[in-house]
């Protein structure tokens, strides 16, 4: 399998270099740009990065503005937001703009590795080339089954939403699994933990 190339967009040089080191430890190719405008220029050249790690809080063109412009220029580009802010409105806006995932600083290396593998669609990719089927129990005999790329994307979005205290409206036809999504959000949220 070819090595993935990841573009780091962060105005803080030490953070960018730290991220580059973590990526290189996992044998990813890593490239750094120091801001939104530079990132927009970069994605107009080949080869296109396989994934963009995009900081939210940057001077000038911030992360959300950059995300919106990236998706206009390259609609299929995969972007993971990285931020020390876990403001619900920011997370929701990032999802709406098309972010694959959202990682809050400080994060553990294992968490970053997992988010990157999932964003690249490489969870279990070495053992089987197709999307792995993973059944996740959500309570009372209900399971969330991620048996397609679309369902893995939904699982990723649920993980992002569950981490913030924000009202969620789930729409869909009868029988499409809305109750399973509700249970999964609850299971992953802090509200599922016993209050001490």
Predicted local distance difference test score (pLDDT) of residue 107: 81
Range of the domain at 154: 130-196
Last residue of a domain, one of 76, 97, 128: 128
Task: Check whether residue 164 and residue 182 sit in a common domain.
Answer: yes
Pairing of strands 79-83, 51-55: parallel
Pairing of strands 134-139, 142-146: antiparallel
Task: Check whether residue 81 and residue 141 sit in a common domain.
Answer: no
Task: Check whether residue 106 and residue 140 sit in a common domain.
Answer: no
Task: Check whether residue 124 and residue 62 sit in a common domain.
Answer: yes
Question: Is this prediction's pTM over 0.85?
Answer: no
Predicted local distance difference test score (pLDDT) of residue 7: 97
Percentage of the chain beyond pLDDT 70 is: 85
Task: Check whether residue 142 and residue 97 sit in a common domain.
Answer: no
Label residue 174 by pLDDT band (50, 70, 90).
confident
Domain count, the chain: 2
Query: Which of 65-69, 112-116, 179-183 shows the lowest per-residue confidence on average (mean pLDDT)?
Result: 179-183
Task: Check whether residue 156 and residue 77 sit in a common domain.
Answer: no
Picking from 144, 52, 136, 140, the residue whose alpha carbon sits closest to that of residue 94 is 52
Report the alpha-carbon distance of residue 131 to residue 149 in Å, rounded: 7
Residue 43, pLDDT > 70, answer yes
Predicted local distance difference test score (pLDDT) of residue 132: 45
Percentage of the chain beyond pLDDT 90 is: 40
Task: Check whether residue 136 and residue 189 sit in a common domain.
Answer: yes
pLDDT digits over 2-30, tens only?
689 999 999 999 999 999 999 999 999 99
Task: Check whether residue 84 and residue 160 sit in a common domain.
Answer: no
Q: What is the DSSP string of 91-131?
A: HHHHHHHT-SEEEESS--HHHHHHHHHHHTT-TTTTT-SSP
Last residue of a domain, one of 128, 147, 173: 128
Residue 113, pLDDT > 80, answer yes
């Amino acid at each position: 399998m070819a090595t993935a190339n990841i573009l780091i967009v962060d105005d803080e040089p030490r953070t960018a270099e730290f991220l580059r080191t973590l990526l290189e430890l996992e044998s990813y190719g890593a490239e750094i740009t120091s801001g939104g405008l530079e990132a927009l220029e970069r994605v107009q050249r080949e080869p296109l990065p396989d994934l963009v790690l995009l900081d939210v809080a940057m001077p000038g063109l911030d992360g959300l503005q950059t995300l919106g412009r990236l998706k206009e220029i390259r609609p299929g580009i995969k972007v993971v937001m990285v931020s020390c802010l876990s403001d619900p409105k920011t997370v929701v806006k990032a999802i709406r703009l098309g972010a694959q995932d959202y990682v809050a600083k400080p994060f553990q290396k294992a968490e970053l590795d997992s988010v990157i593998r999932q964003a690249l669609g490489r969870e279990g990719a070495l053992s089987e080339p197709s999307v792995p089927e993973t059944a996740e129990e959500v309570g009372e005999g209900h399971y969330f089954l991620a048996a397609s790329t679309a369902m893995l994307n939904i699982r990723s979005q649920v993980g992002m939403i569950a981490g913030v205290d924000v009202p969620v409206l789930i729409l869909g036809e009868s029988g499409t699994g809305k109750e399973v999504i509700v249970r999964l959000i609850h299971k992953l949220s802090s509200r599922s933990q016993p209050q001490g």
